[in-house]
């Protein structure tokens, strides 16, 4: 029996997920079940989610949500809404709750329609936050690299690329310059040049492998080279941490491309 004079907020998406997955402690499960006795919405949401077809489309949910909003708006007062038959509207309430849950959990986003490669590129692209602010003492390309890094951090990619290419002409094995030249070329839309520089950095500098491989994959995506992009992403190991997570997310979205 529920406790009198006590109220509790409706279940969050995480609580719903944990409850259905049997991830709660006994006390937390009791608190939720106690709440369900007094909350038809949460009860219906849990029932709907437990029985929902995972293949149900986003369009289906959106249609249900619109219909539910219309029905609710037609009611003259909160009192009238309360006396509606719960059984009659149970499926509509559950579907609306499912929509809220899916949006909060990011699942509905995954169910949307196809993207093109440029839209997907825009979603995943971000400026490279280079950790390099100085240069190696004694390097033949030191002056050009230092100038290039200064321009790069100011997001002046045209000037940065010019300096990095000067550094590379002085010392082709300057892999820091190769990486930053590749990213700069990508930012400027020079895809072939970006791929050339990034490939050299990723094959010759293990410490630069993560960013070089990630930005190479983004370059391939921008060019519509989806198969090559997929292969490149699969080569980013768990050791690369944040780049590995980025790769997993992008790989999951590649099938949505038109």
Q: What is the pTM of this model?
A: 0.57
* N-terminal to C-terminal alpha carbon distance within the chain: 53
* Overall CATH class of domain 119-256: mainly alpha
Q: Which has more confidence, 32 or 53?
A: 32
Q: What is the DSSP string of 124-186?
A: H---------S--TT-TTHHHHHHHHHHHHTT-HHHHHHHHHHHHHH-TT-HHHHHHHHHHHH
Q: Which residues contact 235 (CB under 8 A, 6 or more apart)?
A: 213
pLDDT of 139 higher than 60: no
Both tokens of residue 246? 């980025």
What are φ and ψ of residue 257, in 5° steps? -65, 145
pLDDT of 210 higher than 70: yes
Q: Which residues contact 78 (CB under 8 A, 6 or more apart)?
A: none
Q: Where are the domains of the chain?
A: 13-111, 119-256
Q: Which residues contact 96 (CB under 8 A, 6 or more apart)?
A: 64, 65, 68
**What are 5-19's pLDDT values in tens digits?**
445 677 777 777 778
């Amino acid at each position: 029996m529920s406790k009198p004079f006590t109220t509790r907020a409706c279940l969050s998406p995480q609580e719903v997920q944990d409850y259905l997955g049997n991830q709660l402690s006994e006390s937390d499960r009791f608190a939720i079940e106690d709440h369900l006795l007094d909350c038809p919405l949460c009860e219906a949401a849990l029932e709907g989610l437990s029985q929902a077809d995972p293949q149900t489309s986003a369009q289906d949910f959106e249609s249900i949500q619109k219909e539910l909003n219309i029905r609710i708006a037609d009611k003259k007062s909160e009192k009238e809404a309360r006396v509606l038959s719960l059984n009659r509207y149970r499926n509509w309430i559950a579907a609306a709750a499912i929509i809220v849950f899916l949006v909060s959990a990011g699942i509905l986003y995954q169910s949307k329609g196809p993207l093109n490669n440029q839209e997907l590129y825009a979603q995943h692209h971000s400026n490279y936050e280079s950790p390099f602010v100085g240069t190696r003492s004694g390097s033949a390309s030191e002056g050009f690299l230092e100038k290039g890094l200064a321009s790069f951090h100011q997001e002046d990619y045209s000037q940065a690329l010019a300096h990095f290419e000067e550094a590379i002409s002085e010392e082709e094995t300057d892999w820091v310059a190769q990486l930053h030249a590749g990213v700069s070329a990508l930012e400027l839309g020079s895809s072939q040049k970006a791929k050339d520089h990034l490939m050299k950095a990723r094959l010759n500098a293990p410490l630069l492998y993560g960013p070089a491989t990630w930005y190479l994959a983004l370059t391939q995506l921008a060019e519509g080279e989806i198969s090559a992009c997929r292969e490149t992403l699969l080569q980013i190991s768990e050791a690369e941490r944040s780049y590995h997570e980025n790769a997993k997310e992008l790989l999951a979205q590649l099938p949505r491309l038109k």
